Chain A
Amino acid sequence: MFKDISFGQYYPANSFVHKLDARTKLLLTIVFIVALFFIPSNATNRVDQAWYGYFGYMVTFAVLLVVIIFARVPIGSILKSIKGVLFIIVLMAVINLFVSNQGEVLWAWKRLHITDTAVHTTIKLILRLVLLIIGASILPLTTTPVAIADGLESLLKPLGWIKVPIHDMAMILSIALRFIPTLFEETQKIVATQKARGASFDTGNLFKRAKALIPILIPLFVSSFRRADELAFAMDSRCYNATNKRTKYRVNRMGWRDLLAFLFMNAYLVVILLDRYYWVFEMDRIIFGGWLGK
């Protein structure tokens, strides 16, 4: 039932990207997402330039390729994360295809029509989403959940000055990540138990199916509370909150790798910004202009 979920699935390896500080990877993931949204999705209204605007996506693709090679994670595990949201991507693409009124009409039926601009913006939308998911999956694939929680705690430290309980939040996050597989296992067991008693989860309409989930959720909640209780005892036994000066087993130190990664990703951001505000499709003209003969 939950075999496809690759969330929090750390892929152990000893690569350049694995060795980066979690904070570096967190910040650079944000840089990447910001850059991705600066890539124009609509080139221009002019028909002859509908093909423009792909340069940013090509650069992004190349950058991701480099990152994946340096991360040494298998393509399969990356594609798995796309599979999870494939339905949403397809749905958004289909809607997007019909909404644009600009450009040359390629196909029309009654009130529905598809223009060439719509085709291009749709392709760009799909590219943007796929690249976003690939880029965002690098972080959990190459960083242990604990390191991510630690990195977040360290990055959010300034909030501690205004009495936000950063450490507790990091602990909650780390425990949540630790218990995700345990609770999935538990859910599967409960599903099997209820099936053995004749419950059916794949028949009936949407409401019937939603209702069928209740006998799964209630035992899951009860057992989660029991687990939380036991975990609290175990944490107390191991002196949680014994001192305010808690030390860290994992040390986070930035090194030359982090510097290189920062330079690389920021160069990427600069290229994307230049493409949008300074070159304005100059690159597309160079690449596609000759090819299109215009």
Chain B
Amino acid sequence: MSTLKISGVSYSYSIGDGKTIRALKNISFEVEQGEYLALVGMNGSGKSTLAKLLNGLYIPSKGTVLVDGIDTANDDTIFEVRKKVGIVFQNPDNQAVATIVEDDVAFGPENLGIPREEIVERVNEALEAVGMDKHRERTFSKLSGGQKQRVAIAGVLAMRPDVIILDESTSMLDPKGRRKIMSIVKKLNEAGITIINITHHMDEAAHANRIIVLKNGSIIADSTPKEIFASKVMDEAGLKLPLPAQIANQLNENGFNFESAPLTLNELMEEICQQLK
């Protein structure tokens, strides 16, 4: 069980000539085990930087990131952190090290020095969880983008992490591949794994039970999707609302009265029917 505790974190990039860019400014939040969190924000808002801070790929310039009480800045325990917090990156092609699917899934456990019998068990389990067990002997480069990302998720799952971060993992996929990934992620969350989905697809963010909105390296909102989509925060962050919430807003201007934003089209329809009665 892992809780993430981010307190007062700032992060600056050096861009040469002694100049730095502050990507994140004094950020604090906590994530409990089992949460489904979406991190949204425009390009350059610091989302991806934040992801890399959460498992110690980057070390904060100021402040601390604690995973289960372990400081990510401590070099001796960094692998403890990375065991607990896995990241699925954006480009499906750039994450796999092995040519054959099952070998790639085994990479993480191999690195941890886990006995072979258990690696086999973990690989089977992880491939089944993402529905790729039938493709285990296939060549990685011959898979579709969505399948590659499923293998990447399996590779992270094989480490048996408490937290999985998706760093815009669906942005290079077609709608079908994206839906598949989202349903897998939902299943994993139901099994108790904390999910942090970094995305700029608002319909994906609607799946989460908590959304953090970033703008210029600062958190400008941290609440449930319903509240966030009903407020003006999204406009402020330069983001588009998901379609049901957009329609609800338009209807509000024309005499309807939505108290919270509907997340799905079904919810929207039901609400419209009720209000028309």
Please list the residues of chain A having a beta carbon within 8 angstroms of any beta carbon in chain B. 8, 10, 12, 144-146, 171, 174-175, 177-178, 181-182, 185, 227, 230-231, 233-243, 245-251
A226 to B154, CA, bound (A): 24
Kindly provide the distance from the CB of B23 to the nearest chain A CB, expressed in whole angstroms.
Answer: 16
Interface contact A144-B120, CB-CB below 8 Å: no
B258: Cβ under 8 A from any A Cβ: no
Q: How far is the CB of B153 from chain A (nearest CB, A)?
A: 12
- A12, A175, A178, A181 interface centre (most CB from chain B within 10 Å): A178
Are the CB atoms of A178 and B89 closer together than 8 Å?
no
- Chain A contacts for B96, CB-based, 8 A: 178
Contacts A177-B99, A238-B108 aside, 7 further interface pairs with beta carbons under 8 A come to: A8-B99, A174-B98, A185-B141, A236-B82, A239-B111, A242-B112, A249-B109
Q: Contact: A181 with B141, CB < 8 Å?
A: yes
Query: B221-271: which have CB < 8 Å to A?
Result: none
Does B109 lie within 8 Å of A237, measured CB to CB?
no
Check if A248 sits within 8 Å of B110, measured CB to CB: yes
Whether A243 lies near B106 (C-beta < 8 A) is: no
A247→B115 contact, CB < 8 A: yes
Q: Distance (Å) between the CB of B244 and the closest chain A CB?
A: 34
Name the B residues within 8 Å of A177 (CB-CB).
99
- Docked-complex contact A233 and B103, CB < 8 angstroms: no
Given contacts A181-B141, A182-B141, A236-B57, contact A243 B112 (CB under 8 A): yes
CA distance A145 to B94 in the complex (A): 18
Q: Which residues of A contact B140 (CB under 8 A)?
A: 178
Q: What are 5 A-B contacts with C-beta separation under 8 Å?
A: A144-B103, A181-B142, A231-B97, A234-B89, A242-B113
Q: Does B1 contact A (CB under 8 A)?
A: no
* Distance, CA A237 to CA B55, complexed state (A): 7
Bound Cα distance from A236 to B51, whole angstroms: 14
Q: Which of B57-87 contact A (CB under 8 A)?
A: 57, 79, 82-83, 86-87
Q: Does B119 contact A (CB under 8 A)?
A: yes
- The interface residues of chain A lying within 8 Å CB-to-CB of B141 are 178, 181-182, 185
Query: Does any Cβ of A come within 8 Å of B123's Cβ?
Result: yes
The answer, yes or no, to whether B26 is at the interface (CB within 8 Å) is no
Q: How far is the CB of A121 from chain B (nearest CB, A)?
A: 41
List A contacts of B137 (CB < 8 A): 12
